[in-house]
Each structure stands twice: as C-alpha cells, then as structure tokens.
Chain A
Amino acid sequence: MGDEYSTLFRSEQMSLVQLIVPTEVAHDTIAELGELGNVQFKDLNPDVNPFQRSFVGEVRRIDEMARRVRFFANEIEKEKDLIPIRPLYDSAPLVTVGPRAAQTIDELDVKLAEHEARMSQMNKSYKDLSDRLKELIEARHVLRETAVFFDRAAARETEVRPSLDDSSAPLLQHDDREHQYSAAGDVQLDLEFVAGTIDRTRLSTFERVLWRMLRGNLYMNYIDIQEPFVDPETGVETRKNVFIIFAHGDMLLSRIRKVASSMGATIYPIDANADKRADSMREVTARLEDLQIVLYNTGTNRRTELMTIAESLASWQDVVAKEKLIYETLNLLNYDVRRKTLIAEGWCPTRDIAQIQLALRHATEESGTNVPPILHELRTNRTPPTYIRTNKFTEGFQTIMDAYGIATYQEVNPGLYAVITFPFLFAVMFGDIGHGFIIFFAALLMIMFEKKLAKADQGEIFGTFFFGRYIILLMGVFSMYTGFLYNDIFSKTTHFFHSGWTWPEQHGNGTITAASNGHTYPFGLDPAWHGAENGLLFTNSYKMKMSIVLGVIHMTFAVCLQVPNHIRFNRLSDIYANFIPQMIFLQSIFGYLVVCIIYKWTIDWSKASTQPPSLLNMLIGMVLSPGSVDPDSQLYRGQATVQVILLLMAAVCVPWLLITKPYLQYKEMQKTHGQGYIGLGADEGPRTAEDVTLEGEEEGNGRAIVEANDEEHEQHDFSEVVVHQVIHTIEFCLGCVSHTASYLRLWALSLAHAQLSEVLWDMTIANVLGMTGLIGLVAKAVVGVLWLTMTIGILCIMEGLSAFLHALRLHWVEANSKHYEAGGYSFAPLSFARLNEKQ
C-alpha cells in the first residue's frame, strides 16, 4: 500500500500540531482553517468555565446577532409563500476577513439591530391594530345580533306589562300608583341587560353558572356568529357567540358582569335606545373601514421590510454562523497576554500539514500583517482521532460500519470490504434479475439526477434512500448476477443454454422424471428445475450448502483481517496467541465441512460403491462419537482418522487461546519488574527513550508529553487480561458455531424471496393469462398494474429492507466480531462546510 494517497484501508495518520498565532491574525487564521476544514482544535483551557474565556464578549455579541437573524428567519418563515429568500450562492459574499473585517461586522451588527427595531415596532403596531379590529368586529356583531332581540321586544311592547311597582314606592300610595300607571304608556320600555361575546365552548358553562347564581331566574339569549375568528399569530380558529342577558337591578347586573369577565367573555356597552344603537353601528362600521386600510398599509410595509431582509438573510446567516464558530474556537486557545499570541493545539492529518502551512501564510497575507503563525508538530502518546476520507461513493458504506463503531486509530477498516461484500450478501438473499433491475434502475435514476436531488429538500425517508444510492446501485447489480444464477426473473425462468435434463415422452397421467443427458447447465440453475415438483427439494439443499460455504469463507476472511492489525500495532505475539489458534479451530471443524460439501458434489454417486452420506449427520457424528464412521456411508477412506485428528486440533486450540496471551503478559511483567521498574505503564514495557525524543523534550516540546500523563490510562491489570482472554475465547469458540448457523439466514431469505415472488405471480398474472378478448385485455392491464405495484412495494422495498438488515447483521456481528475493535473516536474538525450541512 503506497502511502502517497489516503485509503479506506486504514484511517489517516494524524499529527498533534501546535500553532502559535499572533493576536492580529488569529481571527483570519481560524477562518482560513475553517474553510480548509481539517484541524480539530483541542480545548486548552478545560478548567476555565465558559464565562471566563477570552472571547466571551465577542461570542455574546455574535449570539445576539444570531438571535436577530433567527428572528428574521422566523418572521419570513410565516410568510414564506410570498417572500423568497435569496439562496446563498446567489448573494453577494460578505467578507469578514482581512483588515476591514471588524468594520464589516460592526456595520452588520448595527444593520441587524436597526432592522430588528423596525420589525418589532411594525409587529407591535400590527398586533395592536389587529386586536382593535377584532374588538370592533365583535362589537359590530353584538350590535347587529342584539338588534334582533330589541326589535322583537319592541314589537311586543304592547303585550309587556311594565312592572307595577317601583321598588321604592310605598305600598299604600294608591294615587301615586295610578299616576304611574298612566305614565308607563309613554315611557320607553326600561330593559336592563348585559351584552357581549363569549367563546362557544364556554357558553354552556356560562349559562349554567348564571342559572345557579340567579336561582333560575335567567333570561338569556344567544346567537352563533357564523364566521370564525382567526388569531393572526397562531392561526387558531375560535368560534364565538353573542349573548344578551336581561336582568333587573344593579346588583344582579354587576354580578353578571363579574361572572362574564371571569369566564373570558367580552362585554360591549349597548344602548337600549334604538337610535343610539344605529348611531354606534354607523360609527363602528366607519372605524372598521379606517382600521382596515391602516392595517393593510402596515402589512404591506412589513412585507416590504421583510423582502429587503430576505435579500441578504442567507449571507447574514452564513456570516453569523461562521463568526460564532470562529470565536468559539478562539476560546479553546490558550491566550498568552504578555506575548500577545494565542497558542492552539489540535489534530490534523499528517499529509495535510503542508496544505495547512499554505493556508496560514495565506491568512497572514489577507490580514495585511507580516507576522505569520508558526506551526510545529508535537510528540504525543495520546490516541489520535480516527479520520477516514470518503467520497460520495464510499460514504454510504463507511457510514454502515461507523454505525457499528468508529474504528480504532489506524485499524483495518471493514468499510473498504463492505463495498463489495455487503451488496453481495444482500444479493444472495435477493437474487432475482427483475427485482435486481428495478432497484438498480431506481438507484441509477437517483445518481443521474444527483445534483438536482441533492439541492432539493428530500424528506427523511427519501433522504435515507438517496444517501445510500450507491449501495443500492451495487445491490441491484449483484442481485441481477445472483438472479441469473438462481435463474429467476420475476419468478419465471430463462433458458439460454442447453439444459442438462431431457423430459421423456409423455405416457398417461403419472409423474415423469427427467433423465440426465450428460450436460451440466453452464451458468446458473438448470431451467428444468423450474416448475418441477421436487424443485424446492433441490434448491433447498443447494442454497443451504451455499450459505454455509459463503459463511465460512466470509468468516475466514474476517479472521484474516486481524493479521494486518497485529502487525501494524506491533503485537506480533497475538498472531500466534490469537490468530493461528482461531484459524485452526474454525478450519478444522467448519472449514472441513465446506471441503466435505464440495467433495461430495464432485463425486458421481451413481457409480460409487457407497451411499452418499448426510453431511449434517457426519458433522454431528464427528463431534459426538469421534473415531467411528459407518463404512456404508463414508465419504472417503480413512475418514474416521482424519476427523479424530481434526477434532483434536480444534480441542488443542481452546487451551492454546486461553493460556498463551495471559502467559506472555505475565512474562513481560516479570521482565519489567526484574529491571526494577514498578507499576508505571506496565503495558508499554520499560520506556526506551531515544536521544531525539529527549532532545525534543529539552527544547520545550515536553509539554505534550507531560500532558499525556493526565490522560486516563487503562491499567492493564494481570487479572483483567486473564478475564478478557477467557471471555474472548469462549466468545470465539461458541461464536464459530452460532455464527455459522447464522449464515443460514442467506438460505432462508433467498428461498422465502423466491417463493414469495412465485406466489405473487400465481395469484395475480397467472389467473388472467388465459383470458381472451376485450375482458382479457382489461383484466390483464388491471392485474398487471396490481402485480407491478406489489412487486415494487412488497418484493423490492419490504423484502429488500429485510435482506438489507440481514446483510447488515452478518457484517456487524458475524464478520466484525472476528477482527474489528472499533474503539476509536471520530475526527471532528473545525469546518465551515459541515456547518452548511447542519443547516
């Protein structure tokens, strides 16, 4: 592997670098590095709380600006149909680096504040006006509806007998009463009432409360207001009723008013006099008209203001987000007031250091000073972050593996192999030319319109499929290949080559058996099996054996991937303490099974002297009764001896795995103790420092090494090693058995897929194929559409998802457990590009 280019095989080699940045260029340097996006800064002031950091003021100011920008965005969001936000790539860039940077930010700050003040002023007046408008509308309703009551009352005035008693009149003054009686005729009907509006849902409660309060002496009228009131802010509709309550006496009236206001009703003063009511109706209508005009104008102004804001909102958002990130990063740096420099430490890929140097120089030129930041590498024994460079093709596959766990630094990355093995194992379960072509075609479409689709908002579900488009593409390709081998196209069959079976002439109604004609169908399953009564019997045995073969080979491959790790991390003892016994164990039992499967296939049993043995019974017999093989059903001569030897080899591997590693560890420890070193870093052995290292420490690079000591070191206790190894051994040995069995899911799923697609065909299209004439044509069209929908919905999407999950599991559990440590943490560089992704 050349070291020239980064590969998926291992994560990038990382360096811990120290940057010494003069204060004048600090901002621009960080901005430049953010554009570059490959430095992960370390927090150098972990003890300082967030409020005491050097750039708190700036961060606060940017936060305030961000709040304003968010406020604008929300306002625009409410009316997004009317106001287009100009996209970022279309807006004029706002330059925030260089000598004029501070001024630009100041100007932006002022501009944002002004806009905000104007916006909130407008919002406030808009809201006030809306409230007034609402009140007026309600008042108009009350006036209009109560008029009905009054009119009715007026019409019946003659029938109404006014109260004979003045409440204060003495009972015995008959003259007065007579006098009053005559006067009542020309006095206006004296009705006392309360009128207003109330939420319709509360009306019944309101009425009940009043009923109780007035002891049933309630005369209340209400009418529904037809149109709902819409709250302009929340958009919630409320429906209201106009009510009018007639009562007598100031006490009662005031109590009714109290109840009404506590129930959230609004009371409007209405005059009993019809003329006055007409006057106020006119007045209300006039004011309503005025208000509507004012409101309309305010709305237009507000919209114009929002339009202006929307023009540059995207670039403001961008600038504010970037500035915030820059100052937050600057807060991580060590501020040396005396020397007027900032000291930064961080991880970066070793191969990018030259690029970073270039960026630093560029930042210096930009800012117009001539003190460049200084970068130098630090020595450290901390574990660097894991950084695997991906492109749009490999990204999806890598995400699958990252979801299981981030690779340990520089560990062999299974994501590289998953690029092929994942779609392949998927295809074994999904083999069908037709279905494969459908998903291949779908992925191809997504890839062809990649750019257009990437820009559009995709939604969560489609977004997931779009993200995995290259995985789906390969899954489709491999499914077509396995479909050819299974000889399945939408559950039908293809017939390209000369079949190996000849059907005899038909005689009578019995079952006919095809005779072998000496050919073997060269590519895939012989079409003669299609539709044969015992077809399932054959594919069953074939697919089961195939899944065992593929499974054992996949696991063997996974075990082999340990070796590059052991070599890379200089754990050569692990090769013979772990890798070799594991390999022997796996091969002597399951490797042997695979060899037997293949051997059994190559024998022509019609000419052999013995019966073909059952391999399953053979494997069980090998473990349960070693050394005895029934000569009638033996696979080859000397089978018993070979199997005993293999079993012994496997048996030896268990204690080998169990003991070797702890023993080596123990010896290592003894050696260290023997040399007089105690405790400290027992796992690393005695520290053999080279001169260069020591020199470096003298020159002030010691800092990183000193710091490394406060990182938590796992104390590799001896007992811990023993426990770990015991678990590892048990896990591996039991795992070999259960994982091999687990690969049988390939068999089960591929059979299920084939059966399901056959059932679908038989239940839909097969029924209408025989029909003729117009009805047949219509039936074919309808059933064809149904069949296609179900093929895509059930067979391609649902079955596909299930096969995807099973392939995922085979990779995560069966393969990864054999070699993948996944103990790393991922590289999270300061990057403006990621910022945009988040938005």
Chain B
Amino acid sequence: MSSSLPTLFILAIAVALGFVGWFTTPKGPNQTLIRTSVLLTLACCYLMWTVTYLAQVHPLESPKRAAMEE
C-alpha cells in the first residue's frame, strides 16, 4: 500500500548528501558558493519532489476520461 514514509527516507538521503557536499567541497575562493548552492539545490529539489509525491499518496480524486468510441 502507498504510504508517506518514502519522503522521510528520501529526506534522510538528501540530508546525507548535504553532509557529503559540505565536507567534500574543496577549499578555495568558491567554497561558500559551492556549499550554499549544493545545500539549496538539495533543499529545493527535495521539497518539490516531496510535495509532488505526497499529493499523490492518498488522492481524493481519480482520473476520469471519456471512453474512446471504437
């Protein structure tokens, strides 16, 4: 059965990726930029995906369409 739990699972992965990104960013003039970008990208992409996923877990509507005439 569908459940909302995968969002938490993916969240854990996103957070882990965030940590990896934070610590693997090479030192240099662009360190802050890269770290910020990685974290924000993960956050944005995760949010968008979660919202899309959650909206479909327990749908209130079912898709309808006119039957094709054969």
Measuring CB to CB, which residues of chain A are less than 8 angstroms from any residue of chain B?
A: 1-2, 4-9, 391, 394, 416-417, 419-421, 424, 428, 478, 481-482, 485, 500-501, 503, 506-516, 518-526, 528-529, 531-535, 537-538, 541-542, 545-546, 549-550, 553, 598, 601-606, 612
Contacts and interface: CB of A to CB of B under 8 A. Distances in A.
B60 A612 contact: yes
A524 B54 contact: no
A518 B2 CA distance: 6
Contact of A533 (B29, B44, B57, B66): B66
A524 B6 CA distance: 14
Nearest to A534: B64
Contacts of B6: 522
B28 A507 contact: no
Contacts of B59: 516, 538
Contacts of B63: 501, 513-514, 526, 528-529, 532-535, 538
Chain B interface size band reads: 35 or more
B67 A524 contact: no
Contact of A506 (B54, B58, B70): B70
18 contacts: A1-B32, A5-B32, A9-B32, A394-B33, A421-B40, A428-B48, A481-B48, A508-B67, A513-B62, A514-B64, A516-B59, A523-B49, A533-B65, A538-B63, A542-B51, A542-B55, A601-B4, A605-B60
Interface of B: 1-2, 4, 6, 27-33, 36-37, 40-41, 44-45, 47-49, 51-70
Contacts, number: 144
Nearest to A481: B45
Nearest to A420: B40
A512 B67 contact: yes
A491 B64 CA distance: 19
Nearest to A523: B49
Contacts of A601: 4, 54-55, 57-58
B46 to A, nearest CB: 11
A531 B67 CA distance: 12
A220 to B, nearest CB: 82
Contact of A546 (B30, B51, B66, B69): B51
Contacts of B29: 5-7
Nearest to A8: B33
B64 A512 contact: yes
A519 B2 contact: yes
B60 to A, nearest CB: 6
Given A420-B40, A485-B52, 16 more contacts: A2-B27, A391-B30, A420-B36, A508-B67, A509-B69, A512-B64, A513-B64, A520-B56, A526-B63, A533-B64, A534-B63, A545-B55, A550-B47, A601-B54, A601-B57, A602-B54
Contacts of A510: 67
Nearest to B50: A598
B44 A424 contact: yes
B62 A515 contact: yes
Nearest to B45: A481
A520 B49 contact: no
Contacts of B47: 549-550, 553
A482 B54 CA distance: 16
A509 B4 CA distance: 36
Among B36, B60, B65, max chain A CB count under 10 A is at: B65
Given A420-B40, A549-B47, A603 B65 contact: no
B44 A598 contact: no
A500 B32 CA distance: 41
B36 A506 contact: no
Top 5 nearest A-B pairs (CB, nearest first) are A532-B63, A420-B40, A7-B32, A601-B54, A520-B2
A516 to B, nearest CB: 7
A534 B68 CA distance: 16
A520 B53 contact: yes
B23 to A, nearest CB: 14
Nearest to B70: A506
Given A500-B2, A533-B65, A534-B63, A526 B58 contact: no
A546 B60 contact: no
A675 to B, nearest CB: 42
A485 B48 contact: yes
A198 to B, nearest CB: 72
Given A507-B67, A525-B52, A546-B52, A501 B32 contact: no
A791 to B, nearest CB: 24
A545 B47 CA distance: 12
A192 B6 CA distance: 110
B29 to A, nearest CB: 4
A549 B36 contact: no
Contacts of A507: 67
Nearest to A604: B58
Nearest to A487: B52
Contacts of A7: 29, 31-33
B57 to A, nearest CB: 5
Contacts of A2: 27, 31
A30 B14 CA distance: 52
A27 B35 CA distance: 44
Among B31, B48, B70, max chain A CB count under 10 A is at: B48
Among B27, B29, B64, max chain A CB count under 10 A is at: B64
A8 B35 CA distance: 12
B48 A482 contact: yes
A602 B61 contact: no
A511 B64 contact: yes
B57 A602 contact: yes
